[in-house]
């Protein structure tokens, strides 16, 4: 098994909480749904913070690496913003920030020399994984704004 397959396997395993926390509310409903969506956001905040730290491991001699480090820190701060929005009970805003944050990180990562030097399978994997995570947040946002399932109505 090559390293790309191992990364893909662990990546998809890491996606499972996103899938579970976004689909179970539609199945179960009730107060537990609100908690699961908050867990999804908390997990997402941890992951986006972790992804932001990736910039520290990229080659130091690549073009714009100083800027890449700063942007990486910005994505870690987006994780903190997501947690703050959860604390302020701004769940829908937090879901939207999560979608924008994860997709923006993919665009940022895709613009680096390190990403372009990766094999095609890894590049496809990152794109698919990002889209799946964004879709999971979109599913949760749909649950949150649905007048029949909104936890605050």
Residue 99 dihedral angles phi and psi, to the nearest 5°: -60, -50
CA 97, CA 153: separation in Å to the nearest integer? Answer: 23
What does pTM read for this prediction? 0.90
CA 153, CA 31: separation in Å to the nearest integer? Answer: 12
CA 12, CA 87: separation in Å to the nearest integer? Answer: 28
Q: Tell me if 55 sits within 8 A of 47, measured CB to CB.
A: no
The tens digit of pLDDT for each residue in 118-139 reads 889 889 999 999 999 999 999 9
The tens digit of pLDDT for each residue in 11-68 reads 899 999 999 999 999 999 888 999 999 999 999 999 999 999 888 877 777 778 788 8
Domain chopping of the chain, boundaries:
3-145
């Amino acid at each position: 098994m090559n390293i790309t397959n191992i990364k893909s396997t662990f990546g998809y395993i890491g996606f499972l909480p996103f899938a579970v926390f976004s689909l179970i509310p539609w199945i179960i409903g009730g107060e537990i749904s609100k908690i699961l969506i908050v867990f999804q956001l908390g997990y997402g905040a941890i992951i986006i913070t972790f992804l932001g730290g990736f910039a520290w491991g990229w080659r130091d001699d690549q073009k714009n690496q100083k800027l890449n480090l700063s942007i990486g820190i910005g994505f870690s701060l987006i994780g903190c913003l997501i947690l703050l929005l959860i604390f302020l009970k701004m769940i829908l805003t937090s879901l939207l920030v999560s979608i924008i944050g994860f997709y923006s990180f993919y665009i940022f990562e895709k613009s680096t020399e390190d990403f372009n030097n990766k094999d095609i399978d890894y590049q496809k994997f990152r794109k698919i994984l990002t889209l799946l995570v964004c879709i999971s947040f979109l599913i949760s946002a749909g649950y949150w704004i649905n007048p029949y399932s909104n936890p605050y109505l």
